[in-house]
Amino acid sequence: MTQTKAPEWAIEVKGLQKSYRGVQVLRGVDFTVSPGSIFALLGSNGAGKTTVMRILSTLLKADGGLASVNGFDVAARPQQVRESISLTGQFAAVDDVLSGRENLILVARLRHLRNPGKIADELLARFSLTEAAGRRTATYSGGMRRRLDIAMSLIGAPPVIFLDEPTTGLDPQARREVWQTVKDLAGHGRTVLLTTQYLHEAEQLASRIAILHEGRVIVDGTLAALKQLLPATRVEYVEKQPSLEEVFFAIIGARDTAGYGENGGDR
CA distances from 240 to 236, 243, 245, 251 (A): 12, 9, 14, 18
Q: How many whole angstroms from its chain centre is CA 21? A: 29
Q: Which residues pair with 213 in a beta bridge?
A: 216
Alpha-carbon span 178 to 198, nearest angstrom: 13
Mean pLDDT, rounded, of the chain: 86
Confidence of residue 1 (pLDDT cuts 50, 70, 90): low
Work out the number of other CB atoms within 10 angstroms of the CB of residue 242: 10
Among the ranges given (139-148, 173-182, 231-240, 258-267), the one the predictor scored with the smallest mean pLDDT: 258-267
For 89-131, the pLDDT digits (tens) are 766 678 999 999 999 999 999 888 999 999 999 999 988 899 9
Lowest mean pLDDT among 27-41, 70-84, 228-242: 228-242
Give the pTM.
0.79
pLDDT given for residue 263 in this prediction: 46
Domains recognised in the chain with CATH numbers: 11-93+159-257 (3.40.50.300)
> What does the pLDDT read at residue 171?
80
Look at residue 239 and tell me whether its pLDDT is greater than 80: no
Greater confidence, 238 or 111? 111
| pLDDT greater than 60 at residue 267 | no
pLDDT per position as a tens digit, 19-43: 998 899 999 999 999 999 999 999 8
Which of residues 181 and 67 earns the better pLDDT score? Answer: 67
